[in-house]
Chain A
């Protein structure tokens, strides 16, 4: 099931060869261990660049938004198989 949301989340990332890789996310007091980064894309909001990370664990797909000005992570989409 697909859902559009817009919640602030905490994300632990690793840095590997100039790439940011989300590893773990806390959303709504639950911890999700992210198994795969499937796609990363960027978008512009005026002069600001925003990164979107399409990630997944074993049962859910998430789309995370990283604001490069505020460095805030938000969960914007979920898909549960």
Chain B
């Protein structure tokens, strides 16, 4: 039986939430940035800003150059996270099969509750009304209804803002043929270029193209492309969040620096954040990746695997700093713009107690600090060496720092 999938995509999400919160921003071109407005990007542009050429992920200086009158608003991740929880709770009132795809979009499988496309449309309209009354008039969504997630997402993106697009199974090909290849989630500029090299510039051409030639060019992705061109895609909505494969943080420094101490302090602060998330969720890492981006936007990164898993921020820092030094990126010679760390190779479960008292003391100290942080929040303690280092929360992304 064909499933009936809703894709609900909040329009200009962060900007709409800001316009809901502040009536004096409504009807104006605004861009939501990171906590700092300079050296940041536009995480979301309002509809008015988009109409005047500002795009999501554009740097703030470029947005200002295109539209000098744009109002830049520092993002408020706590607010967006709370509204995201609120609208997903509304969705779960209609079906337990809700998959949060990103901070501002979710898939719902309404097959059993809706029974047919008319029922699904009624659910979509009811959800839209509840969004209006429970989140606010300015927080609107585009909704796509289709037999799988791929088509539902494509459908929701065809009409913005506040669109409602229904694509029944027999209408899938017609929808695809109205769209460009890059409109489909999964076909980015590089794949589109490679398809172009094969003479494929539309879904009709992709359908005609021999599958074995596609598979030879794209390996297993060739079958995915072939199926997508026929409107075939994944229709499984998974409500359970999977365990993370890695935990990481990166941070754009307030100013480019070649001072190793500044870089070290920010890296240590990031390592402590990563380590706390690992301990909170019961993980330890056996692999660390450290990376830097330089002032000229070139970058370098390196990974190290090790046997003894850790979730101690200081240990992560020692490994990460060693990697940055090894990387050939002589910190004292290059201006560093961004520093980042990712912990992977995650394992769960208890680990053997160390034979050494010093190690056992560290574990019990971290346990005590974790209790403190759980009770009083992430500002409950800091290292003396980091008192002057302020790592601001980020605005975009899925898992917000403020959940730490």
Contact = CB atoms under 8 A, between A and B. Distances in A.
A46 B23 contact: no
B354 to A, nearest CB: 29
Contact of B20 (A38, A52, A80): A38
A39 B375 contact: no
A39 B79 contact: yes
Interface centre among B73, B79, B83, B379 (most CB of A within 10 A): B79
B376 interface: yes
| B-side interface mostly | helix
B69 to A, nearest CB: 14
A52 B380 CA distance: 21
A28 B20 CA distance: 26
Interface residues of B, number: 22
Nearest to B380: A46
Contacts of B136: 38-39
Given A38-B23, A56-B23, A48 B73 contact: no
B309 to A, nearest CB: 27
B24 A41 contact: no
Given A38-B136, A39-B17, A41-B79, A46 B24 contact: no
Interface string B11-50: 0000001001111110000000000000000000000000
Given A54-B20, A54-B21, 19 more contacts: A36-B23, A38-B23, A39-B79, A39-B83, A41-B83, A43-B82, A43-B402, A46-B374, A46-B375, A46-B377, A48-B377, A52-B78, A54-B22, A56-B22, A56-B23, A61-B21, A61-B22, A61-B23, A80-B24
Interface of B: 17, 20-25, 73, 78-79, 82-83, 136, 373-380, 402
